[in-house]
Chains A and B, each alone.
Chain A
Amino acid sequence: MSSTQAGALNEVKSVAPINRSKLSFALGDVVFKFTALFFALVVLMLLAGIIVMLVKGSLPAFEAFGPGFITSDEWDPVRELYGAWPSLTGTLVAALIAMLIGLPLSFGIAVFITEMAPQWLKRPVGTAVELLAAVPSIIYGMWGLFFFAPFFAAYIQPGLVAALGPLPIFGTLFQMPVMGGSSGVSVLTAGIVLAIMIVPFMASVIRDVFEIVPGSLKESAYAMGATTWEVVWNVVLPFTKTGVVGGIMLGLGRAIGETMAVTFIIGNASQLGSSLLDPGTTIAAKLANEFNEADGLQMDSLIAMGLILFVITFIVLMLSKLMLMRLAATQEGSKT
């Protein structure tokens, strides 16, 4: 086909130069269209390939343990008993802590940079936040292990335990760790370091979308006597909610999937402690630790955990889309 086209091209060229250029534009369009389509399809094919591989690889584990694999807290390579529960909850709890700390922080940074900071301070702070995003995760892990965890254990942990430990129910989350002793290596420290890691991503995305709010909208609100807070909450946020949710999802995705830094500071304990100050593990950390030397059922179980992680990420994405749809719906409703 291409040869006949090329032949046709040559013919056209000899007859009329203007026609040739039109034709080559058309050909360029076709080529471009198919190239773009191909790239888009590659993503879909990759995704399909990953799903097929994960499902196929995890079948033996689900056959051996049934759906109980998800809720079992056993991880015993000697007796070949595996369950995903401690890693699964560890992943979710660490990500939740990271969001609880990271979201207000990122929001505050974005509001400060776009609405409050004097002009000379905007650029340095903005650049600093972006630079933080470029730090490799292993650096955060090493900083967490060598500096933050010992600092946390010495100065913050005792206070936390004394203040929150005696509270009913809630207090069980802040008991002195049984395992790990005075190390400061725990699910909570991992969550805090994760929060620091995702702040640059969320803050810079939220800042960028805040900046696209038309000045006239904000000026009108200010002119009507709105405070900065009211402007941010009632004008900026509704205008940018899609972008903000996107930024949050980016951070959450990173918190759920982060591997290296978490492996350093979460303590890699396969048992589930009741306190946030106990060491734990996450799915990603577990995979990074055990994949190398695993075989047989252990390998199948690790792949099954990979599938679970995939499903979690999928659910998170779906929930964010649903949330956006509902937000859009309520806004439509309020307008009419």
Chain B
Amino acid sequence: MTTFRMSLLAAAVMVAGVAHAADVTTISGAGATFPYPIYSKWAEAYNKATGVKLNYQSIGSGGGVKQITAKTVDFGASDDALKPEKLEELGMAQFPAVMGAVVPVVNIAGITANQMKLDQATLADIYLGKITKWNDPKIVALNPGVALPEKLITVVRRSDGSGTTAMFTNYLAKISPEWKETVGEGKAVKWPVGLGGKGNEGVASYVKQIDGTIGYVEFAYAKQNKLSTVQLKNAAGEFATVSAASTAAAAAHADWKNAKDFYLFLTDAPGADSWPIAAQTNIIVYKEPENCAQTEAALKFFNWSWKNGAKMAEELEYVPLPKELVGQIQAYWNENIKCEGVAAITK
């Protein structure tokens, strides 16, 4: 009798559980604009496969953090990784969702994609305004056999606060002590020189329009707009070309295991094949969410996307997370994201 009642109870709980999970029909998220195309692509496929919708507002990383703090969304998305102390204070967990790269692009008559090579010091000096002409001996020395004009360099950068700028300035601060000292890093900085374009498209249009420009944009954007990307010397001293493979290499060489809350900058990554300005974009959720079913659904969405969405990411020039990293994230979830003391997600 008791066993019968127990099993009945168990069945009821199971039914309730199923009904509970099925209750979630829409997940909501807000934040970074950079991953918006891939999130919407994943969302479309996920909706077809499971019937669950994702409503993602690409309002900017800062906005994403604000929205999740105000608990108006199920997850926040930020290009800027939040510091573990900050996450601790907010009671939130953070994990990467997808990766991308930032690449310098140039417009010099006669120079094609990946023809120009720059090393750390030259790139920093151009953005510091210390190298002002394209035929500067330092640039010529790196590019033997390339005809460089005696033209003023027009430096282009973002005028709006942006995660792309955060990645780029983080890289410059790592490779140039002078940059770190005088300018620093962040979503917006006090640029020593240059024109400010609004958004990737603003920078790209300046670079396309003006002869003798150098700017920086997201890799996906450079590729779609066929901008002349630049080869950069990486931490191993090799010239790297921006690609999904070189970005993935940077991620593979990174020490994720020892990075608390995946707080890690992929810039200037070790490895001969690594692209030096790679970055992950992050998802932020509450560690003990009030509405557990919603958070659980969000985690399931990302889990599904990593499993089934790698190809979609590559088509859009994003770099999917390495398998090993996905495993680490799942372990992190089990350990950190709890619903009434139980791990919010079981694989």
Contact = CB atoms under 8 A, between A and B. Distances in A.
The 7 A-B pairs with the shortest beta carbon distances in the complex, nearest first, are A293-B161, A268-B196, A268-B159, A78-B184, A181-B152, A181-B154, A76-B190
A219 to B, nearest CB: 54
A36 B195 CA distance: 49
Contact of B198 (A77, A78, A183, A288): A288
22 contacts: A74-B190, A77-B187, A145-B206, A145-B209, A146-B209, A179-B155, A180-B194, A181-B210, A182-B212, A183-B206, A185-B210, A264-B202, A267-B196, A269-B191, A269-B195, A279-B196, A289-B159, A289-B161, A289-B196, A293-B61, A295-B62, A298-B188
Contacts of B197: 268
Interface in B179-220: 183-191, 193-198, 202, 205-206, 209-213
Interface of A: 74-79, 145-146, 149-150, 179-185, 263-264, 267-270, 279, 281, 285, 288-290, 292-295, 298
A294 B210 CA distance: 29
A281 to B, nearest CB: 8
A269 B62 contact: no
Given A77-B161, A182-B152, A292-B60, A267 B189 contact: no
A39 B298 CA distance: 46
Contacts of A264: 198, 202
Given A180-B195, A181-B152, A183-B195, A290 B160 contact: yes
Interface string B154-185: 11000111100000000000000000000111
B154 A183 contact: yes
Q: Determine which residue in A263, A268, A279, A295 has the highest number of CB atoms from chain B within 10 A of its CB, and name it.
A: A268
Contacts of B155: 179
Interface residues of B, number: 39
B212 A181 contact: yes
B102 interface: no
B151 interface: yes
A292 B190 contact: no
A294 to B, nearest CB: 6
A74 B60 CA distance: 25
B90 interface: no
B161 A290 contact: yes
Contact of B210 (A75, A79, A182, A288): A182
A73 B189 CA distance: 14
Contacts of B195: 179-180, 183, 185, 267-269, 279
B257 to A, nearest CB: 30
B15 interface: no
Contacts of A269: 191, 194-196
A78 B191 CA distance: 11
Contacts of A145: 205-206, 209
A136 B317 CA distance: 34
B141 to A, nearest CB: 22
A185 to B, nearest CB: 6
Given A79-B184, A269-B191, A281-B159, 10 more contacts: A77-B187, A77-B189, A181-B154, A182-B152, A185-B206, A264-B202, A268-B198, A289-B160, A293-B187, A294-B188
A277 to B, nearest CB: 13
